[in-house]
Amino acid sequence: MYAVFSARWVTDPGREGLRETPQRVAAMYAEVFAGMKYTNEEIGNMFRKTFADGRVSDVADTGRVVVMKDIDMFSFCEHHMALMYDMKATVAYIPAERVLGLSKIARICDMVGRRLQLQERIGADIADIMSAVTGSDDVAVPFNGRPQLCDGERCQKS
């Protein structure tokens, strides 16, 4: 992809500051798209190890809602590879079989964000993973953020 960009837009690809750019871009893509390597089930399996022996009664009051707010996220649009930024997720669930530590909830959100996708899919994917890991059908994942570049700055204004 960098070769296509470079051939079209870069006047001197041999310039000092650009010589190692293809390697840097490849490393960046490996990092920001790390979630592409995993299905929702595989992401869930990464976070199945929970407190104690997994019994909710050992670590939380059953029936109480666990909420983590304002989880910072970013992702990329699958149509234009445009950055979706300033996203904040809230994850709420009622523990059933297992309870997750708050850092694991944030890491699930981060891993889901590291994919090419539609904004509309992000919350559903996080909810599916949370439900699978905790055994709870009572999961909600509202999120908000600035409009992505394909809907905002990139588009022609009418």
Residues 19 and 79 in one domain: no
Residues 101 and 128 in one domain: yes
How are beta strands 143-144 and 116-117 bridged, if at all?
A: unpaired
Residues 16 and 42 in one domain: no
What pLDDT, on the 0 to 100 scale, is given for residue 4? 74
Residues 53 and 114 in one domain: yes
Q: Return the exposure string of 68-102: e unless at least 16 CB atoms fall within 10 Å of the residue's CB, then b.
A: beebebebbbeeeebebeebebbbbbbbbebbbee
Residues 21 and 40 in one domain: no
Domain of residue 113, residue span: 35-144
Residue 114's nearest CA partner among 11, 43, 10 is: 43
Residues 136 and 78 in one domain: yes
Spatial separation of the C-alpha atoms in residues 103 and 47, rounded to whole Å: 10
Residues 6 and 73 in one domain: no
What pLDDT, on the 0 to 100 scale, is given for residue 72? 96
Residues 47 and 58 in one domain: yes
What pLDDT, on the 0 to 100 scale, is given for residue 143? 85
What pLDDT, on the 0 to 100 scale, is given for residue 103? 94
Q: Is the pTM of this model over 0.85?
A: no
Residues 27 and 40 in one domain: no
Residues 6+ apart with CB under 8 A from 125: 40, 112, 117
- Per residue of the chain (158 residues), what is the pLDDT tens digit? 777 777 777 788 788 988 888 899 899 999 999 999 999 999 999 988 765 555 555 555 667 899 999 999 999 989 888 888 889 999 999 988 888 889 999 999 999 999 999 888 999 999 999 999 999 999 999 988 765 555 555 555 54
> What total of structural domains would you count in the chain?
2
Residues 18 and 87 in one domain: no
Does 154 reside within a domain?
Answer: no
Q: What is the DSSP letter of 62?
A: T
